[in-house]
Amino acid sequence: MFGLEHQRALSGRWGWLVLNGIIDLFLVGVIASGLPGTAAWVLGILVGIDLVYGGAALIGLSLTAHAAKSA
Beta strand spans in 1-71 (E): none
11 φψ region: left (φ > 0), alpha (ψ -120 to 50), beta (else)? beta
Mean predicted confidence (pLDDT) in 42-60: 82
The residue ranking higher by pLDDT, 13 or 52, is 52
- The whole-number pLDDT of residue 53 equals 83
Mean predicted confidence (pLDDT) in 24-30: 81
How crowded is the C-beta side of 70, counted as CA atoms within 13 Å? 6
Residue 48 has pLDDT above 80, yes or no: yes
The 10 Å Cβ neighbour count of residue 36 is 8
- The whole-number pLDDT of residue 11 equals 63
Residue 54 has pLDDT above 80, yes or no: yes
